[in-house]
Amino acid sequence: MASTVIKGGTVVTADLSYLADVRIEHGVITEIGLNLQGDQVLDASGCSVMPGGIDPHTHLEMPFMGTYSADDFESGTRAALAGGTTMVVDFVLPGQGQGLMDAAQMWHNKSTRANCDYSYHMAITWWGEKVWEDMAESVKAGMTSFKHFMAYKGALMVNDDELFASFRRVGELGGLAMVHAENGDVVAELTAKLLAEGNSGPEAHAYSRPPQVEGEATNRAIMIADMAGVPLYVVHTSCEEAHEAIRRARQQGKRVWGEPLIQHLTLDDSEYQHADWEHAARRVMSPPFRNKKHQDSLWAGLQSGSLSVVATDHCAFTTEQKRYGLGDFSKIPNGTGGLEDRMPMLWTHGVNTGRLTPNEFVAVTSTNIAKILNCYPKKGAVLVGADADLVVWDPQKEKVISAKGQQSAIDYNVFEGQRVKGLPRFTLSRGQVAVVEGRMQVQQGHGRFVPRAPRGAVNQALSAWKELTAPRPVQRSGIPASGV
Ligand SMILES: NC(=O)NCCC(=O)O
Ligand SMILES: [Zn+2]
Ligand SMILES: [Zn+2]
């Protein structure tokens, strides 16, 4: 049996750092200890041996705004591995009237060339009996998290009654409710007003989606989830108003998690004021980049634990695709890339600055989301029996980010010119060495679908609490409670 040993590094997990070698056989970790021997030895001296990153928010080959996002499962997962991410979670997006399992099959067809493991969230893009029924099938098939768009009116948006009905169903099935939280009605009104006033450039995209639309929707989703008795995950939390709602909810004991993106942590809204239309349009995404005050809030959330996960929302469009919105910002395809850069950018701006410890880095890039999505410790762990999805992280290795030589299929990089310090020496996907010192040796089709079970510990705890505190009729003598 061929074995690989990662030798001489410091194992860094979400809660511990210690010197140890790691032995891998058949794609899983079989031993952790000192002086291990193996057929293949990977030198980890001077490096941290960490769980590979998990990016829980990607849109690969996604049909959106009249086009498809440019990175598919092949280039997207190649970019992921290059940056130390070993699992992505993409969103199955059923069309209007389309069955959920039919859409899931389309996603399975797209992912056959994936270079690393992947899982799916299911999006609820319309509502009806068929969706309600299919949600149980989705859970049985391992897609237990359900995303709802509160924005994109007239396209993906669901209304509050649909949100409540769907959240209740997710709660009943032991799943996780997810939201893109922006008030889509207000965004639509502001967009129309801005365009009517001659505000048609990419900067108006940001004006049309102020922090208030996100704060309001986040708070609304939290309250609806609480009434529905379901845990809630808020994607791409970008501002203090949304963070405040999440922080408050968590302090109240609600089961809510917030996910800032690496883009929102490190890039700000001055990008939209750039004189070059293409520069600004390439950075159009929802929610838009915010100012320094919001960035400080997001960093503080990661430090204090009120925000839990750093993702990318990787949804990359070429400059040519962005040009669909020349003369009308509302037609610029929304989305930016980040898969290759999330880990190095977060290490550089988080760990190297002292905002995050290396253990906190592991928590927010891998372990926390593995627990939230109920695939820990198969993923997100350096433990015997866990999948050998690992990154050997060299804290001294540097580069300047550039579109030239990147793995993503697009022609630019929103982090262009940024110097990062902290990069993978090796990235391993279930034991297969996919990256060596920046050289790619991925195996197309190596990636496998990761099904996830429902009714994790948080679902069980929340259900028990909701049952205990459920409204009950007062028993009064002489009056039948049922009214019969
Ligand atoms: N975020 C974004 O602008 N595009 C991708 C779709 C979404 O997550 O809203
Ligand atoms: Zn979104
Ligand atoms: Zn997204």
Query: Taking the complete model, does pTM exceed 0.90, yes or no?
Result: yes
Q: How much is the mean pLDDT over the chain?
A: 97
Q: Atom 5 in ligand 1: which residue has the minimum CA distance?
A: 335
Residue 346 confidence (pLDDT) = 99
Residue 479 confidence (pLDDT) = 84
Question: Quick check: 286 pLDDT over 70?
Answer: yes
Residue 59 CB–ligand 1 contact under 6 Å: yes
Cα of 286 vs centre of ligand 2, distance in Å, is 6
Residue entry with tokens 């999330």: 342
Question: How many Å apart are CA 181 and CA 148, to the nearest integer?
Answer: 8
**CA 15 centroid distance within chain:** 21
Question: Quick check: 200 pLDDT over 60?
Answer: yes
Question: Phi and psi dihedrals of 98, rounded to 5?
Answer: -80, 140
Please compute the mean of the pLDDT values over residues 96-111 and round it to a whole number.
Answer: 98
Of the pLDDT bands very low, low, confident and very high (cuts 50, 70, 90), residue 466 is very high
Please compute the mean of the pLDDT values over residues 278-307 and round it to a whole number.
Answer: 98
Cα of 225 vs centre of ligand 1, distance in Å, is 22
How many other CB atoms are found less than 10 A from the CB of residue 421?
A: 15
Question: How many Å apart are CA 94 and CA 90, to the nearest integer?
Answer: 13
Q: Atom 2 in ligand 1: which residue has the minimum CA distance?
A: 335
pLDDT tens digits along 223-273: 999 999 999 999 999 999 999 999 999 999 999 999 999 999 999 999 999
With a pLDDT cut of 70, the percent of the chain lying above it is: 99
Ligand with the closest atom to the CA of 234: 2
Question: Quick check: 275 pLDDT over 80?
Answer: yes
Residue 286 CB–ligand 1 contact under 6 Å: yes
Which runs of consecutive H residues, i.e. helices, occur in 267-318? 277-282, 292-304
pLDDT tens digits along 294-346: 999 999 999 999 999 999 999 999 999 999 999 999 999 999 999 999 999 99
Nearest to 29, CA basis, from 378, 268, 392: 378
Cα of 465 vs centre of ligand 3, distance in Å, is 31
Question: How many Å apart are CA 104 and CA 122, to the nearest integer?
Answer: 8
Closest ligand 1 atom to the C-alpha of 69? 5
Residue 285 CB–ligand 1 contact under 6 Å: yes
Q: Atom 8 in ligand 1: which residue has the minimum CA distance?
A: 313
Cα of 458 vs centre of ligand 2, distance in Å, is 24
